[in-house]
Amino acid sequence: MQDVAVLGVGLHRFGKTGDDVVGNKSVTELCRHAVDKALEDAGVSWRQIEAVAAASSRFSGGKGWGLNGNDVVEDIGSTGIPVFNMSAGCAAGGNAFNVGYSLVAGGMYDLVLVVGGEVMPKGMIQTSGVEEATDPEFLRQRCIGFPGPSFWATLARRRMHDYGTTEEQFASVTVKARKCSVGNPYARFQKEITLADVLASPYVSNPLRLFEICPVSNGAAAAVICSKRKAREFTKKPVWVASSAVATLTFEDSLPRGLAGPVPSGPSFHTEVKGAVTRAFERAGIGPKDVSFTELQDNTCYYELAFPEEWGLCEPGESERLVAAGETTPTGRMPINPSGGFVSFGEATTAMGVFQIAEVTWQLRGQSGARQVPGAKVGLAQTNGLGGNATAAILKR
Amino acid sequence: MVESSQPCVPGLFAADGGARVLGSRCTACGTPYFPKAASCHNPKCPGSKMEPCEFGGRGKVWSYSVADFPPPPPHKHDKPFKPYAIAVVDLDSGLRLVGQMVDPPSAMSVGAAVELVVDTLYHEEGKAFTTWKFKLA
């Protein structure tokens, strides 16, 4: 194994089809912008890139929309390098980062590009593209009608039961997230929002409201990663990848992923996410208390409360108090999503895991402006996606 | 005239003689499955031995949510769309099953006792298409 560094990162600002930010740009155009920025940031030319790990949403048997890494390579220049297209639902970006990392760590390549980008179809994500009774996702949507927001709402409702969480407490997480996004030039939403605004937004899936659930966005993200030897050629102060891990859910998982499962013997939530984060901690030799800040997948505000507890960043049932005390803000004791998170960016599915790497890198370099976590030394990034996929990466300076 | 009805997906559930979903159970470790599984998913199971098993009767709501907006295809629903509750239910038979509620969202609570029923999901070409649902017991 050789040490791996993040040499350069780039984003295309997130937006909505037809707006002033992304207009009608294709996913290839969005990615080209992000890749150009990452190459520029790294001081690397396209011809030096030896391989590409791309986050791909072209599920087999699925839809015609989405990123294919080959399109990016053809667009920027057909140098003949290998392209690995990774599909893992919303975890695809984190998965691509892990594959890029593994290729460099394992000594196969010294300079690798990781890219993800998306032009999203409007509305709630259609999770099954086929009418096929052997597809569990088809059965779940046809026989029940259980879209993503309702899955999250089921967990939020259970948290209200377990810990007495109120709708105001959920809403206050969105208020905090949107405050972080002010001045973040890459966020789709860059304005503060009040508790009253959030509580006045309609339910998408009771108890979760429109402003508490990330919308779909268009956007792209890229990262240039390299071996330690290569890093020394380009910079004196690289950001290091302390660890990168991928996991899938385990048999003990108690959440309603499909139509049914055994009644669990105890609460065992998000086992894929816990698996990835635990492995990332173990491989890095870094514990929850050493983390300066976290970029986690907040498809809904619920996750800013639940995930830190599930990973040992704080105690079970403690999150609401930490949010109220301002401890999850960039200057707090446990900063969560200083970027503004998915709630401020919207989700461009395959870009998200790479977008997190960009934000963590800027934070560790001290380049995050108003949202900077003071003295950030260690950053944790996490994604999870349909099918029971999850990724975690720990970066340090 | 009695409305003709058929399951929205055949072979998954039955209504005659009491509502039940048609799954399987591993007789080696006891794990219940719905839909039927070809082999046991439990990595600690000593040996996958699957038998057909039907699940119905009563259970308790572990949690629930509301579909306040119509889900995208392949979901089908009657128009105008009427928000419905979705319950995650721990059946007494050991299966944690997801399903729509017959009762309105306002009637729901965590821990409520429910029973499995078969009910209409949507209408198409003059026919009612059914699915499994839960009803407050």
Q: How far B23 CA lies from chain A's nearest CA (Å)?
A: 10
CA atoms of A274 and A316, how far apart (whole Å): 14
Q: Which domains does chain A have, with CATH numbers?
A: 4-124+212-396 (3.40.47.10)
Phi, psi torsion values for A93, nearest 5 degrees: -65, -40
- Predicted confidence (pLDDT) per residue in A214-233, tens digit: 999 999 999 999 999 999 99
pLDDT confidence of residue A136: 87
Q: What angle do CA A255, A260, A261 make, to 5 degrees?
A: 65
**Are B96 and A126 an interchain contact pair (Cβ–Cβ within 8 Å)?**
no
**Are A144 and B99 an interchain contact pair (Cβ–Cβ within 8 Å)?**
yes
Nearest to B72 among A123, A251, A260 (CB): A123
Domain presence at residue B23:
no
Is B12:B121 a contact under the CB 8 Å cutoff? Answer: no
Domain presence at residue B101:
yes
**Are A254 and B97 an interchain contact pair (Cβ–Cβ within 8 Å)?**
no
**Is pLDDT of A65 > 60?**
no
Average pLDDT over residues A134-139: 89
What are the residue ranges of helices labelled H in chain B?
none
Average pLDDT over residues A45-50: 98
Domain presence at residue B22:
no
Contact list, A124 vs chain B (CB under 8 Å): 69, 71-72
What is the SS3 assignment for A165? coil
pLDDT confidence of residue B24: 98
Query: What CATH code is carried by the domain that includes residue B91?
Result: 2.40.50
Q: What's the count of helices (H) and strands (E) in chain A, helices before strands?
A: 13, 12
Q: Tens of pLDDT along chain B (137 residues)?
A: 567 999 999 999 999 999 999 999 999 999 999 999 999 999 999 999 999 999 999 999 999 999 999 998 899 999 999 999 999 999 999 999 999 999 999 999 999 999 999 999 999 999 999 999 999 99
Please, how many CA atoms are within 13 Å of residue B118, restricted to the half-sphere of its CB?
23
Nearest CA in chain B to A253: B42
pLDDT confidence of residue A132: 86
Nearest to A259 among B11, B34, B44 (CB): B34
> Which uninterrupted H or E stretch holds A243?
strand A239-248
Is B75:A141 a contact under the CB 8 Å cutoff? Answer: yes
User: Sorting pLDDT into bands at 50, 70 and 90, what band is A121?
Assistant: confident
- Count of domains observed in chain B: 1
- Predicted confidence (pLDDT) per residue in A359-371, tens digit: 999 999 999 999 9
**Are B66 and A203 an interchain contact pair (Cβ–Cβ within 8 Å)?**
yes
Sign of CA dihedral A269, A271, A276, A282: positive
Residues 39-78 of B with CB under 8 A from A: 41-44, 55, 62-77
Range of the domain at B137: 57-137
User: Sorting pLDDT into bands at 50, 70 and 90, what band is A87?
Assistant: confident
**Are B71 and A153 an interchain contact pair (Cβ–Cβ within 8 Å)?**
no
CA atoms of A392 and A247, how far apart (whole Å): 9
Domain presence at residue B20:
no
Nearest CA in chain A to B31: A262
Does A248 reach chain B within 8 Å, measured CB to CB?
no
Nearest to A204 among B12, B34, B69 (CB): B69
Q: How far is CA B49 from the centre of its chain?
A: 24
**Is pLDDT of A61 > 60?**
no
pLDDT confidence of residue A60: 36
- Predicted confidence (pLDDT) per residue in A26-42, tens digit: 989 999 999 999 999 99
Does A150 reach chain B within 8 Å, measured CB to CB?
yes
Average pLDDT over residues A103-127: 90
Domain presence at residue B6:
no
Average pLDDT over residues A312-332: 98
Nearest to B105 among A155, A206, A258 (CB): A206
User: Sorting pLDDT into bands at 50, 70 and 90, what band is A66?
Assistant: low
Domain presence at residue B30:
no
Average pLDDT over residues A171-199: 97
- 10 Å CB burial of residue B1 (0-12, 13-18, 19+) is exposed
Does A261 reach chain B within 8 Å, measured CB to CB?
yes
Provide the Cα torsion A132, A85, A387, A240; round to 10°.
-170
pLDDT confidence of residue A120: 85
Domain presence at residue B31:
no
Domain presence at residue B36:
no
Q: How far A359 CA lies from chain B's nearest CA (Å)?
A: 32
